Amino acid sequence: MQRTLEKINQFAGIGTNKTGHSEKLISGLGGFTGILLILIFTRQVVSASDAGLIVASMGASAVLLFAVPHGPLSQPWALVGGHTISAFIGVSSYMLIPDLFIAAAVAVGMAITAMYYLRCIHPPGGATALTAVVAGSGVHDLGYYYLITPVLVNVAIILSVALLFNYLFHWRRYPAAIMHYGKKDTPQDQADEESLSRDDLEHALRQMNQYVDVGHEELGKIYQLARNRNNLTLGTDQIMLGHYYSNGQYGNDWAVRQIVDESDRSRPDRDQIIYKVVAGKDRRSSGTLTREAFANWARYEVFLNENSWQRVSPLAEQNLRAVS
């Protein structure tokens, strides 16, 4: 029975959402704020029935901007370009194609194609194009002015709310590029020579030939965090004077420490080491720990290769041991 349920869930695409309750509530509150402001404005421009159709596409945008603010489909160019380009195509389809059904289908199909080529795929844009065709006379009378108001104004409203609202929570910075601003002294390849590069991820996505709603940076973060979960801590015998070690964390929590002094290993009860932080969090600070506590902190040994901290491979580790 359990196996059958798992297969049904897999077929239906029912996943287990691992986000916490606070994240879910924050997303809902952000969507409420954005749509409330949009409704207030749109109701001043068109009738209540037409406003409902127009705001429907913005409701879908709210899900993206507040539930998955770091996804490629949620970024500012996707939001602005997706809606405005789709609005232009929708209005043009209504004006040029007499048959309403054909015009609606053409509007959506052309909007999808245009968003693909212009790199601004935003699913709610399809609804914006469709609304320009199937809405009432209040929207049709606007003509191309529909692009500016209500569409572009609504986009500006929800974009402003997303920028300000998500900024209140450090783990939800929007747009996604803000999430990747680290400390200036943090090297680009943070302590792992086996980390995937941007080129590696782009190549993999090209091989799949599909649009995946996750950015290259986010893929790299997922990969590194997953690898760190399975990395065992070092043994006390691997903590050596003069060597460098990383905690393998991501972003601002990443750090590299060097062992600068140690006590007599023959006295386990007094086996202390002194370290200094040479890169990352708390750089230029120092501290004292038991060798066991330091080994529990460290994920792996690293070395400085030009401007990049890299993980010591088994072969490099042998060479470093031989030199020391």
pLDDT of residue 311: 86
Name the pairing type of β-strands 244-246 and 286-290: unpaired
Identify the domain containing residue 240 by its residue range: 236-314
Q: Is residue 193 part of a domain?
A: no
Same domain as 211, residue 125 = no
Residue 190 belongs to a domain: no
Please give the DSSP secondary-structure letter assigned to residue 233. P
Residue 287 φ then ψ, to 5°: -170, 175
DSSP 288-313: EEEHHHHHHH--EEEEEETTEEEEPP
Beta bridge partners of 41: none
pLDDT at 183: 42
What is the reported pLDDT for 131?
94
Contact 194, 200 (CB under 8 A): no
Residue in 92, 138, 96, 95 with CA at minimum distance from that of residue 111:
92
Alpha-carbon span 299 to 295, nearest angstrom: 8
Q: For Cα atoms 260, 262, 266, give the angle at the middle one, nearest 5 degrees.
A: 160
Examine the domain organization and report whether 287 and 168 are in the same domain. Answer: no
**Does residue 37 sit in the same domain as residue 172?**
yes
Task: Summarize pLDDT for 9-51 with one digit per residue, the tens.
Answer: 667 767 656 677 888 899 999 999 999 999 998 888 777 777 7
Calpha distance 115→139 (Å, rounded): 22
Q: Which amino acid is at 195?
A: S
Q: Is the pTM of this model over 0.75?
A: no
Strand order of the β-sheet with 308-311 is 286-290, 272-280, 255-262, 244-246, 300-305, 308-311
pLDDT score, position 192: 45
CA distance 72 to 281: 29
Residue 88 pLDDT = 98
Determine, yes or no, domain membership for 143.
Answer: yes
Domain boundary among 210, 230, 250: 230
Residues 205, 286 share a domain: no
Q: Count of domains in the chain?
A: 3
Question: What is the model's pLDDT at position 188?
Answer: 41
The residues, ordered by sequence, that sit 6+ positions from 93 with a Cβ below 8 Å of its Cβ are: 103, 104, 106, 107, 110, 129, 132, 133
Three-class HEC string of 58-92? HHHHHHHHHHCCCCHHHCHHHHHHHHHHHHHHHHH
Among 83, 66, 75, 73, CA closest to 23: 66
Q: Are 277 and 285 contacting, i.e. CB atoms less than 8 angstroms apart? A: yes
Same domain, 76 and 151: yes
Indicate if 248 and 141 belong to the same structural domain: no
pLDDT of res. 162: 95
One domain, residues 59 and 98: yes
Residues with Cβ within 8 Å of residue 71, at least 6 apart in sequence: 64, 176, 213, 214, 215
**287 in a domain, yes or no?**
yes
Q: Give the pLDDT score at 169.
A: 86
pLDDT tens-digit readout, 92-103: 999 999 999 999
Output the pLDDT for position 320. 45
Residues 91 and 111 in one domain: yes
How confident is the prediction along the chain (324 residues), in pLDDT tens digits per residue? Answer: 667 777 776 677 676 566 778 888 999 999 999 999 999 988 887 777 777 778 889 999 999 999 989 889 999 999 999 999 999 999 999 999 999 999 999 999 999 999 999 999 999 999 999 999 999 888 999 999 999 989 999 999 999 999 999 999 878 889 988 875 444 444 444 444 445 556 666 666 666 665 566 666 666 666 666 655 555 567 888 899 999 999 888 778 899 999 999 887 776 667 889 999 999 989 999 999 988 889 889 988 999 887 788 888 654 444 444 444
DSSP summary character for residue 196: P
Per the domain annotation, does 319 fall within a domain?
Answer: no
Distances (CA, A) of 85 to 41, 106, 233, 241: 21, 14, 52, 61
Alpha helices in the chain (DSSP H): 2-12, 21-42, 48-67, 76-96, 100-117, 124-134, 137-140, 145-146, 153-167, 198-208, 216-230, 291-297, 314-323
